Amino acid sequence: MPYLDRGDVRVYYEDDGAGLPILLTHGFGASTGMWAGQVAAYQDRYRLIRWDMRGHGETECPDELSHYSQAHTVEDMRALLDHLGVEQAVIAGHSLGGFMALAFNVAYPERVKALVLQGCGPGYRRDEARETWNERTESRARTIEEGGLAALGGGAEVGESVQRSAKGLAQAARGILSQVDSRVIDSLPSISVPTLVVIGDGDTYYLDGSAYMAKRIPRAVNVVVSGAGHGVNVEKPEEVNEALGLFLGNI
């Protein structure tokens, strides 16, 4: 299996197809397997690069919290693109992965050809809102530590994924899923690349945040998929693939 050695972690990735590169980042509790429907549909015309974040899937990493952060995640994304010789890519992500796509755009806008943001929000501007989110995140981390992988829960995308360690997922919740500042939400009006926002109409937790992003990002394309929940690309692959194909065809 292909790995990128980052010193403190070995990052697992998959790289299929040729053409315009698309870096696909999964959500919390998911892994590379959630993108199987997009790989099957588009590997004949695009280069689809999937990877497992720290604490997820086949990525090998220590248990210590110091190895988990949004900054580490952004640098893992940059290092993977460097490793694969990709100067610029479509940066796509689901849920936490969508938020990290936005964070990557803040840090490395010159590396971003376009953005695809699925089932996610842009974080919070107010300290109080971040504190509330982080309290829920810590509660989720403790539940996973105490109950193991069986306590993970999640949408359809989680069912298509594999995990190695409940401890790693708990630390990923504390270090990556937790909100730290308002840089991402503040960046929305300055995004200058084509952006696709996708969400299922039953993904009630993220509907408001998704709509907020679509309104604030200049010229964003907003697609709401009927009859789908949080794991929209797994539940309704044909609809998501159609939206993705139209979007990518116009880049």
- The tens digit of pLDDT for each residue in 139-181 reads 999 999 999 998 888 889 999 999 989 999 999 999 999 999 9
Domain span at residue 119 reads: 3-249
Model confidence pLDDT, tens digit, residues 77-130: 999 999 999 999 999 999 999 999 999 999 999 999 999 999 999 999 999 999
Residue 188 — very low, low, confident or very high, per pLDDT cuts 50/70/90?
very high
Q: What are phi and psi of 194, to 5 degrees?
A: -55, 140
69 touches 9 (CB < 8 A): no
Question: What tokens does 200 get?
Answer: 């299922």
Cα separations in angstroms, 5 against 111, 130, 141, 181: 21, 32, 26, 29
Dist. CA 188–CA 98, nearest whole Å: 13
pLDDT exceeds 90 at position 244: yes
pTM of the model: 0.97
**In the chain, how many domains are there?**
1
Q: What is the CATH number of the domain that holds 43?
A: 3.40.50.1820
Q: What is the pLDDT of residue 151?
A: 86
